[in-house]
Copies of this chain bind each other. A is one copy, B any other.
Amino acid sequence: MSGRNPTNPDPVSEPVPEPGPESVSGSGEFDLIGRYFAPLAGPGAFGLGDDAAVLTPAPGQQLVFTADAIIAGVHFLADDPAADVAAKLLAVNLSDLAAMGAAGAGYLITTAWPRDLNESWIADFAQGLAAAQAEHGIALLGGDTVATDGPMSLSLTAIGQLPTGTAMRRNGARVGDAIYVSGRIGDAGVGLRILRDGLVGGAAAERETAIARYRRPGPRLALGQALRGLATACIDVSDGLIADLGHLAAQSGAAMVVDLAVVPLSPLADLIGGAAAAVVAGDDYELLFTAPFGDERRLLAAAQGTGTAVSRIGRVAAGEGVEVIDAAGEKVELARPGYRHF
């Protein structure tokens, strides 16, 4: 873990304002790292006291890398609990590893904290990170901590490993394959609408589940590993089921035909507009994959072994793009295929 000399403000020419007793401005960067992040360091990370971490892959294993950034007010809500923000940041990255079929190996994190952030927020964040990394069996390898005048900005690079040559890609779907998705779609979208827009309705337990799925998605690491050698293409559902199917279609050079009536839905999906809304809501972090029809029994058995339900929702056809059909086989037009950041 390292600090670097910032350009500005320079304490020589522009004295830093006197911090409040509990704001992070009262602590040095190295104090914060030592207090909250060093305890999370794994083997090879040297307690975050060195310039870099060292990792040796097991024989016959490849390493897999992914990075995602999240910004307060954009990817999480400013009043989301700190521990949940930490868990989600790790989960969205591990979900990408899961989609490749990899097991987690380690991660690096960079945090830009607002200067007036209460140090207890960082303590809660680190505690959430500790719980999440323990749950997923990985450890911190390094990172950086800086201050910002803007919204909190967090970035994480996750490192996974898998047997050489077994990575699942997005480009392997073949015409005639079936399309599957794990778990159910729309919980996170409902949870977001409850938290952000005060959406009402639904049973209390289901509302809590929806909120939890928004704040603390569970990456499907075990399922992803079980699908190696079975799935022909795989992606995780982050932008939304339809948008992510579009990525599979584009990379595989085929069309994805999805039967809206059989997509497994959140029990509260009707609160946000039903299936048509749930499949574009995103943030589900389920695995979306293709496999030959003939392998379905093996595939379902493999999934069952990981405790994760899997549903067949469509088929791969010649052509391009995503086609959504209803129970009668009629084409459905969706308002919004996926979110654009810019």
Residue of B nearest to A151 (CB): B150
On whether A62 and B54 interact (CB within 8 A), knowing A75-B4, A157-B157, A238-B3, the answer reads: yes
A69/B146 in contact, CB under 8 A: yes
Q: A71 contacts B148, CB within 8 Å?
A: yes
> How many angstroms from the CA of A30 to the CA of B216 in the assembled complex?
26
Complex interface: chain B residues within 8 A of A55 (CB): 62-65
The reply to whether A25 and B96 contact each other, CB–CB distance below 8 Å, is: no
Q: Bound state CA distance, A95 and B8, in angstroms?
A: 21
Q: Give every chain B residue within 8 A of A64 (Cβ-Cβ).
A: 52-55
**Which of chain A's residues 227-264 have a Cβ closer than 8 Å to chain B?**
234-236, 238-240, 247, 250-251
In the bound complex, residues from chain B placing their C-beta under 8 Å from that of A3 are: 238-239, 339, 341
Residue of B nearest to A145 (CB): B341
A12 on the B face (CB < 8 A)? yes
CA of A211 to CA of B143, assembled, Å: 27
Q: What's the least CB distance linking A192 to chain B, in Å?
A: 6
A108 within 8 A of B: yes
- Measured CA separation A11–B56 after assembly (Å): 44
Q: A112 at the A/B interface (Cβ < 8 Å)? A: yes
Is A281 at the interface (CB under 8 A from chain B)?
yes
| Stretch with Cβ within 8 A of B (4 or more), from A127-135, A162-170, A306-314, A326-334 | A162-170
Among A43-51, A176-184, A296-304, A317-325, the stretch in contact with B: A43-51
Does A171 lie at the interface of the complex (its beta carbon under 8 Å from any beta carbon of B)?
yes
Scan residues 66-93 of chain A and give those whose CB is less than 8 A from a CB of chain B.
Answer: 66-71, 73-77, 92
Is there a chain B Cβ closer than 8 Å to A153's Cβ? yes
Kindly state whether residue A221 has any CB partner on chain B within 8 Å. no
Known: A28-B342, A29-B342, A56-B164. 9 other contacts (CB 8 A): A3-B238, A5-B339, A9-B74, A28-B341, A51-B99, A54-B64, A66-B142, A69-B111, A157-B157
22 CB-based A-B contacts, threshold 8 Å = A2-B68, A3-B339, A4-B282, A5-B239, A5-B283, A8-B73, A8-B77, A8-B196, A12-B336, A49-B250, A50-B251, A51-B234, A52-B96, A52-B97, A52-B100, A54-B63, A56-B164, A57-B57, A67-B110, A69-B146, A74-B147, A145-B341
